[in-house]
Structure 1
Amino acid sequence: MDKNIKRLNGQRITDEELSDRLAVLDRIVVKHTRFNELHEAIRECHVLQSKSLNKKGLCILGDTGAGKSTLFKTYESFHPRETRVKKINNQTVTFPKVPVLRVELDSNSKPLNVASKMLEELGDPFHYKGTEKQLTTRLKGFIEDCEVELIIIDELQHLIDTDTQRVIRKAADWLKQLVNDVNLPIVFGGIKDDASRIFSSNKQLDERFPYKPSFPGFKYETEKEKKEFCTFLNSIEFKLPFPDNSELADPYLSEKLYYASLGIPRTLNHLLYHSTKIALKDGMDRIEERHLQEGFDQLSFETRPRVKNPFHGKVFDLRVAIASEKLTKSTK
């Protein structure tokens, strides 16, 4: 496979070229079937409600690392910001036009923190000053001035990290009021089991988000699921910074790659990052299994303490490996 990438042929790669090639991995976005379906769901939520009196929201819930944040960033990139000049009290004021306001919540966020972060994204120099009520009031004004059309709030579960019903109810009430006041389509993203609790605590908020599609990782049981995962691997393969094909979608390697990542794109990306770096430093023009073996050893699997490195150059049985890992956990 010729990608017009310089061949190393076993020669040592310079630090600059290594850095350039590794940067390619950070820019890889694979728009697979589920990604495209959810991108279209966001687009419809955004553009098809312009004449609706009461805007409905969308909440995308799924596994950690499945690609929600990448999806949101990609959608935001299709709607770049512009500069607007307005007259306010006979003074010329410059505002950014922000068609899509996207914020990613920090851990242990409270409504005040959310309002502050949204104001910061909208360019308020005093986003850190004021009470929750003051910041929220200012936020509504900035949303109007910046001509926001769609709001995306990612990592929704961080709004209820403190696990008390009072905190959850307060967060849900604040979100419901914000949704009602701005009357814009809002997209939430979060971890399914955690974020869904905020809707169960407020019926009115839940009713404003009738569609809550899931964004899971890949599966690898049916032939269709195997084909989807291998298509995903082929798409990544095409974008890797090597001139030669590493045969990632070959059944021999695809099973091992699925086991190593359990179908989670972020985990797979980490594995390929380390493996790519090792292969390039070896002067190789493709990833070989030994590079995946070393790359796997550099990963941390805190939630899978009994996981085994599958890249050992031998025949591998996915079902046996997964069953063995689960059995070991249950008998620990």
Structure 2
Amino acid sequence: MKKNNAKAESSKDIRTAFIKFPHIVRILAALDRLYDYQCDNEDPEHIILLGESGVGKSTLVKRYARQHPRIEHDEYTEVPVLYMRIGPKPTRKALAQKSLEMLGDLLWFRGTEPQLTARFIGLLRTCRVRLVIVDEANHLVDGTGKKTLHTAADWFKCVIDDSKISYVFVGIPRVKRLLATNDQLRGRLREVIQIDRFSVANESAELEFRSALKNFKICMGDLPAIDISGATITRLFAFATDGRVRDICKLLARAVELAYAQPDPGLTDKVLAEAFRTVIYSGAPDNRNPFHETFNEMPLVKNDEPFAPEDH
């Protein structure tokens, strides 16, 4: 029973870990700056937060929104931070409806687009919203025609101007296409913050990656384990996860479960190799498994491999 509890706790701690790496601290400071910004007599500030899939963008902004929960007053509901996730191929009306739904309007589906938009802007003021976070903003440009792309950008430009509230647009790098369609919107979204993958490309990046793995090692508690933050193993993690936090967590959480399943619990390179085959690259040949001794040390970017470019 004690072993099962330790396994469950360690695995959960890794999956839910929120470690304040240096870039996380910088982004939180930027969000706080927007949250505290007084927009009464001047234009609000806005941010675009970019990063490839799996680097932790959504986890970060969702956590920030949860730290500023809704407050029920007698006459209204205060929503300090409004978090909204954009669905695929949004139209102006769909954007207005989704915005109202996330704000808590029970009749979010009723009305014309101009009526919905006006109601949303009014409720932003009524609910004392101080920051709007638009997640999956790349859906504004994914699979949309030029006309739809332009109208989506124009809708947000109008809402930003009328609401006088700071916005954060979150998504993969394609979000920048949104700015190319509208000069006025581009002028309002000057600040771009990039979340990079962990890497071993240079000494500074490698030290940060090793520090991250050291923090994850702490989550394992008393489980006997190899030094996952060593220089050699860190390089293997770079191959195995492409430096993406989501995949690092998945790999280590499963490795912990497999380690505790052994008669003599312990996290070894063999356990990591099995975890990799389980949650990162099903059926990986030994020479394409970073934790196997025959690994050929080539990035896993072929068409059928986990980190192939999205174009494939």
- Superposition TM-score tier, normalisation by shorter sequence: 0.7 to 0.9
Alignment map for 1:124-135 (pairs within 5 Å) = 124-135=105-116
Alignment map for 1:44-55 (pairs within 5 Å) = 44-55=33-44
Report the counterpart of residue 11 of structure 2 in structure 1: 22
* Closer, same or farther: CA 50–181 of 1 in aligned 2, 3 Å: closer
DSSP 3-state at the match of 2:299:
helix
Does 2:97 correspond to 1:108? Answer: no
CA distance in 1, matches of 2:253, 2:300: 28
Does 2:11 correspond to 1:34? Answer: no
The Cα of 1:29 is off from its aligned counterpart by 0.8
Report the counterpart of residue 275 of structure 1 in structure 2: 255
Letter in 2 for 1:129: R
Aligned-residue RMSD, C-alpha: 2.9
Q: Is the 8 Å Cα contact of residues 152 and 186 (structure 1) preserved in structure 2?
A: yes
Report the counterpart of residue 164 of structure 1 in structure 2: 145
* Closer, same or farther: CA 228–47 of 1 in aligned 2, 3 Å: same
The Cα of 1:33 is off from its aligned counterpart by 0.8
Letter in 1 for 2:142: D
Report the counterpart of residue 216 of structure 1 in structure 2: 196
Which moves more between the two structures, 211-220 or 277-286? 277-286
Report the counterpart of residue 321 of structure 1 in structure 2: 298
CA distance in 2, matches of 1:173, 1:324: 37
CA distance in 2, matches of 1:311, 1:305: 11
Report the counterpart of residue 207 of structure 1 in structure 2: 187
* Closer, same or farther: CA 165–19 of 1 in aligned 2, 3 Å: same
CA distance in 1, matches of 2:285, 2:100: 41
Does 2:166 correspond to 1:185? Answer: yes
Does 2:152 correspond to 1:152? Answer: no
CA distance in 1, matches of 2:153, 2:222: 48
1:213-233 deviations in Å (ceiling 9; x for gaps): 211111212111110100011
Relative contact order: is structure 1 or structure 2 higher (C-alpha 8 Å, sep ≥ 6)?
1
The Cα of 1:51 is off from its aligned counterpart by 5.0
The Cα of 1:323 is off from its aligned counterpart by 9.7
- Say which of 74, 77, 88 aligns to 1:96: 77
CA distance in 1, matches of 2:98, 2:112: 14
CA distance in 2, matches of 1:242, 1:135: 55
DSSP 3-state at the match of 1:321:
coil
Q: Is the 8 Å Cα contact of residues 46 and 185 (structure 1) preserved in structure 2?
A: yes
Q: Is the 8 Å Cα contact of residues 307 and 325 (structure 1) preserved in structure 2?
A: no
CA distance in 1, matches of 2:214, 2:7: 22
* Closer, same or farther: CA 163–117 of 1 in aligned 2, 3 Å: closer
Report the counterpart of residue 92 of structure 1 in structure 2: none
CA distance in 2, matches of 1:85, 1:168: 40
Q: Is the 8 Å Cα contact of residues 7 and 243 (structure 1) preserved in structure 2?
A: no
Q: Is the 8 Å Cα contact of residues 10 and 253 (structure 2) preserved in structure 1?
A: no
Which moves more between the two structures, 111-120 or 168-177? 111-120
CA distance in 2, matches of 1:40, 1:220: 26
* Closer, same or farther: CA 33–166 of 1 in aligned 2, 3 Å: same
Q: Is the 8 Å Cα contact of residues 60 and 214 (structure 1) preserved in structure 2?
A: yes
1:239-266 deviations in Å (ceiling 9; x for gaps): 2355445421012311111111111111
Q: Is the 8 Å Cα contact of residues 10 and 219 (structure 2) preserved in structure 1?
A: no
CA distance in 1, matches of 2:178, 2:301: 36
Q: Extract unaligned runs of 5+ from structure 2.
A: none
CA distance in 2, matches of 1:305, 1:151: 46
CA distance in 1, matches of 2:32, 2:101: 25
Letter in 2 for 1:79: H
1:289-313 deviations in Å (ceiling 9; x for gaps): 22211111123559x9998111114
Does 2:54 correspond to 1:81? Answer: no
Which moves more between the two structures, 227-236 or 77-86? 77-86
Report the counterpart of residue 311 of structure 1 in structure 2: 291
The Cα of 1:50 is off from its aligned counterpart by 4.1
Report the counterpart of residue 100 of structure 2 in structure 1: 119
Q: Is the 8 Å Cα contact of residues 37 and 44 (structure 2) preserved in structure 1?
A: no
1:181-206 deviations in Å (ceiling 9; x for gaps): 101011111111x1101101101001
TM-score, length of structure 2 as denominator length: 0.87
CA distance in 2, matches of 1:300, 1:24: 19
* Closer, same or farther: CA 236–300 of 1 in aligned 2, 3 Å: closer
1:125-161 deviations in Å (ceiling 9; x for gaps): 1223333222212211221221101000011011222
- Say which of 259, 265, 276 aligns to 1:296: 276
Does 2:45 correspond to 1:56? Answer: yes
Identity between Structure 1 and Structure 2 (%):
26
CA distance in 1, matches of 2:95, 2:34: 22
Does 2:48 correspond to 1:67? Answer: no
